Amino acid sequence: MTANQGLLLGHLGDSNYFREKHTLMRTLFLFMILGLSWSVSAQDQFDTEEAAVSQLIDDLFDGMRNADSASVAAFLHPDIRMQSTGYDKDGNFYLQTGSAQRWLEAIASFPAGSLDERLYSRAIEVDLPLATAWTEYSFFLNGELSHCGTNAFQMVKTDDGWIVHQVTDTRKKEGCTTSEHQLSDNVHQFIDAWHKAAAEADEDTFFGSMAADGIYLGTDATERWPRDTFRVWAQFAFDRDSAWDFTPYQRELYFNDNNKYVWWEEMLETWMGPCRGSGVARFVDGRWQIQHYNLAVTIANEKIEGFIELTKKE
């Protein structure tokens, strides 16, 4: 083989290499597109089924509210199981099995509008043909609050659509939500009371409002405080008449689907000037607990260059 032939074969080898590499890249790109398309399609299907399950729940209680037992019956599996669970006045656990037929008879016996079950949250999961839904409710009889609790639904998707095949509920008389605004108002009051506890050096309320594994981020880069470490460090501040006095004047709340988590952002008047705080709280054991809070000093854009120069100084 001559040198020219070797050079030619070298070029052909390089050409094959780049052609194979290009083909491989196109194949990988195609798989990425197909994977993305599948992911989007799967998400679209989940959203569609979730919406259908949510609509089933609405239609079920609309039928009850309208005293339309026939429409309610159409949403129930022939072998539906209905149960209630909880604790009696003496603290004893109970699990009672109800009757769908008696429920339907009760719906038919009351005037429209007498039975009103209002839902304040819903968390839905779907794995065809099964779905579950967790809803917080308050039940009103003739306009008066009767009881409240949580519904745990299980649904199945048949050839005719979604139907309920099991529901278990809890029931209580106290601590019931009666309006959408009440939930937000309670959270605002909780956060305001937390800030007030610091202003009044109320150590027990301030740290008692934080979860045991809660985290507080201060304005200094070193200030990442687990709750109990934060309590030890801040003892000097809570030994005073006021630990610190931060006054919130603007706040936005955001809830997850079942209203068990809330996250927020707020503006605060502080001795440092305007600050921004953001937090996450979880509703557990009948009360809110702060899981994470981040305090940040705000700096106007036109002052940022001066701030950068300041941080360079030792």
CATH number of residue 63's parent domain: 3.10.450.50
State pTM to two decimals: 0.64
Percentage of residues of the chain with pLDDT beyond 90: 72
- Residues written for the chain: 314
CA 71 to chain centre: 32
Instruction: Give 109-160 pLDDT, tens digit per residue.
Output: 999 999 999 998 888 999 999 999 999 999 999 999 999 999 999 999 999 9
**Where does the pLDDT of residue 311 fall: very low under 50, low under 70, confident under 90, or very high at 90 and above?**
confident
**Where does the pLDDT of residue 9 fall: very low under 50, low under 70, confident under 90, or very high at 90 and above?**
very low
Do 117 and 137 form a contact (C-beta atoms < 8 A)? Answer: yes
Integer Cα distance of 69 and 106 in angstroms: 9
214 and 252 fall within a common domain: yes
Establish whether the linkage from the previous residue to 129 is cis, with ω within 30° of 0: yes
Do 177 and 136 form a contact (C-beta atoms < 8 A)? Answer: yes
80 and 186 fall within a common domain: no
Amino acid in position 52: A
Alpha helices in 111-151 (DSSP H): none
276 and 221 fall within a common domain: yes
Amino acid in position 258: N
Do 181 and 255 form a contact (C-beta atoms < 8 A)? Answer: no
Q: Which domain holds residue 224?
A: 180-304
For residue 3, the model assigns a pLDDT of 46
As to burial, measured by CB atoms within 10 angstroms (0-12 exposed, 13-18 middle, 19+ buried), residue 207 is buried
Last residue in a domain, options 147, 170, 193 = 170
Last residue in a domain, options 114, 143, 170 = 170
